[in-house]
Structure 1
Amino acid sequence: MATTDRYPRQAATLALAHALSAAERGLAVIPLSRTKLPALRSPHRDAPAPAGPPCHGECGLFGHGVHDASTDPARIRELFAAAPWATGYGIACGLPPHHLVGVDLDTKSDTDSAAALHALALRHRFTIPPTIIVLTPSGGRHLWLTGPPDVVVPNSAGRLAPGIDIRGAGGYLVGPGSRTVHGAYATAPGTAHLAPAPCPRALLRLLLPPRPSRSGATGPTAGGAHGRGLVQFVLAAHEGQRNTRLFWAACRAYEDGIGPELTADLIAAALRTGLPSREARGTIASAARMTTHRPTRDTPGTQN
């Protein structure tokens, strides 16, 4: 029988202790269940779909995934008190001060993800610096890196290479010390004392979506040629990248001061690619919050 089944109270106490320790290092955390999902369910799960963007915690209740993430010890204790069944914690990526980027080397794929990363490093001439490495129960590894404060690294699964997932803005990493149905997460020997290392520039370029093409953009669009380029970038999205492209384009629009004016055009473009209206509006709202640096409620939860 798993430890979390025999000693649920002890597991919850340990999870809280590890979460508070992570928060002391400036890492925003949320409680996780044994399935690695956020332990608190949405308070709006039975409510009708809202006409506007979905609630990201404005209601004041818990249960909004990474939007709940915090470094405040009092708030973290409240989160875990509301989820006494939590046996782990998630660390929100992309938030200040670290702007964490997680490189998840999976073992479920037939591809050797570690070898794939090594091949990428040789091809693009970068080296992964010494950094925190977290060992997963399945034998995988999470490499912790930091990104620039003015760059939004999106989540991706297998885009960099088969078996390599990226956790960036809107995602979270399972923290060391967490216990799941498959076992415990732990820092690799000799790495616990390290700080997350800066992501190599060559690797960072691979993690970002390509710059939007501005050719072929027609029709009146807010923001002129730049706005049309962002809209075309969204229109060119294929299934599996629609949300990521919309999020990236919306972040660029808000950073450049044309976000509110370009929102309608971005939503229209997202709808043409097949993205549901509610999801498109929520993605743009998340981008707006991300670019205004609201550290505890910026991004939607994505598990790894």
Structure 2
Amino acid sequence: MMAATDALAGVLTQMTGPWPVSAAARELAAAGVPVFPCVPGGKRPLTEHGFHDATTDPGQVEAWWRTHPDANLAVPTGATSGMVVVDVDVHAPTDGYEAFERAYRAGLVSRWAFLVSTPSGGMHAYYPATPDRAQRSWQAARPGVDFRGDGGYILLPPSMVSTNGATVGYRVRQINTGPSATLDSDRLRDFLDPRPTPPPTTSDDVQRSADVSRLATWVAARGEGERNRGLFWAACRLAENGVPAPDALDVLTAAASQSGLGEREITTTVRSAYRTTQPQARPSSTVQGSPRAADGWFARDATVRTSAPGRRLS
């Protein structure tokens, strides 16, 4: 598992100048990192089964980018690739950098392998996946930090996406030259977004849990042309049954990703369903940019550099 982040960091380190996405895809596949293409300028997979089609086969990788030379580059997260990602985002009025810094000072996210700046002003922090342990993807909307593990995927440099009328690329901002370490994703979630202890389980709770599981399976099986509509319908059912919006996102993100939808599209659809079903809920809107964290360690204007684990990051 450690080798995956090392291999990815090694390839990214070579990107000292402009690289074609196809060249990065070939290098990553040759290093043993499974890859797949997404739409040019976006995050939606171009493959029939989304991130499930990721491969290291050089012939398939060559064929994908010969057919779609401007395609973006993505890798699955979790056990499939051996790497997981903490996604720091910026939503008004929440600044994910502040939450990430709190977690850093608590020793929960300190030993990352490398950091990538995202087009929206956020940041991706990469870690080795924990061997022989499931690490499910989750979203913590209030602190502005998400986790990409099993059931997720991520775009890599030098991919470009269109945001606010401009095309902006992912870029490597910092590579850890010392050893990285696995991440306790459950502990991180409890730290960032603590939840009350649930009451004792009743037979109704067990039935609702089974119904939610069947609903997620149904969403994952939707084909092209019915994915968005099916996701919206499922989210409305969860809202009607009193499932909190963050829990609905947790359940439906992994399921809808399997059907080929991108995370932002999933989030928008689920929130729209909750606004329709529960009009009193008013989720915050996304804005570009972020104030610096308290001491600027993870400010979005950081430059690319390397760092040993025990040294300050700026």
Q: TM-score range by the shorter chain?
A: 0.5 to 0.7
Residue 216 (structure 1) aligns with: 202
Q: How does 1:129-144 map to 2 (within 5 A)?
A: 129-144=111-126
Q: What are the equivalent positions in structure 2 for 1:112-127 lying under 5 Å apart?
A: 112-122=95-105, 126-127=108-109
Structure 1 residue 89 displacement after superposition? 0.5
CA displacement at 1:18 relative to structure 2: 0.9
Report the CA distance shift for 1:273/1:109 in structure 2 as closer, same or farther (over 3 A): closer
| 1:302 lines up with 2:288 in the alignment | no
**1:169/1:33 CA distance change after superposition, 3 Å:** same
1:63 to 48, 58, 78: 48
The partner residue of 1:101 within 70, 73, 84 is 84
Match of 2:65 in 1: 80
Aligned to 1:37: 43
Q: Structure 1 residues 130, 155: closer, same or farther in 2, change over 3 A?
A: closer
2:93 partner SS: coil
Aligned to 2:169: 184
Which residue number corresponds to residue 251 of structure 1?
A: none
Secondary structure at the aligned position of 2:94 is classed as coil
Q: Which residue in 1 is equivalent to 2:145?
A: 164
Residue 129 of structure 1 aligns to a residue whose secondary structure is: coil
Residues 190-220 of structure 1, C-alpha deviations (whole Å, 9 max, x = no match): 34x67864113632666999898762126xx
Q: 1:74 to 1:209 in 2, by over 3 A?
A: farther
For 1:8-40, what per-residue CA distance to the aligned partner results, in whole angstroms no more than 9, with x for missing partners?
xxx9x8111112222344332111233322352
The AA in structure 2 aligned to 1:91 is V
The residue identity in structure 1 corresponding to 2:121 is: G
> 1:135 & 1:271 partners in 2: Cα distance?
34
1:28 match: secondary structure: coil
Gaps of 5+ in 2: 1-17, 218-233, 241-250, 265-314
The one-letter code sitting in structure 2 at the alignment partner of 1:115 is: E
Rate the CA distance shift 1:272–1:77 in 2: closer, same or farther, 3 A.
same
Q: Deviations over 1:122-181 (max 9, x none)?
A: 5x653421321111133211011233333141242516x2x2222222221110211233
Q: CA deviation at 1:246?
A: 4.8
Cα distance, 1:130–1:102 mapped onto 2, change above 3 Å: closer
AA aligned to 1:188 is R
What's 1:90 paired with? 74
Superposed CA RMSD in Å reads 4.3
CA distance in 2, matches of 1:126, 1:84: 39
**Residues 1:199 and 2:183 aligned together:** yes
Contact 2:88 2:122 (C-alpha < 8 Å) held by counterparts: yes
Quick one: structure 1 residues 79 and 101, their matched pair in 2 at CA, closer, same or farther if it must change by over 3 Å? same
Contact 1:234–1:270 under 8 Å retained in 2? no
Alignment partners' CA distance in 2, 1:302 and 1:17? 24
Corresponding pairs, count = 214
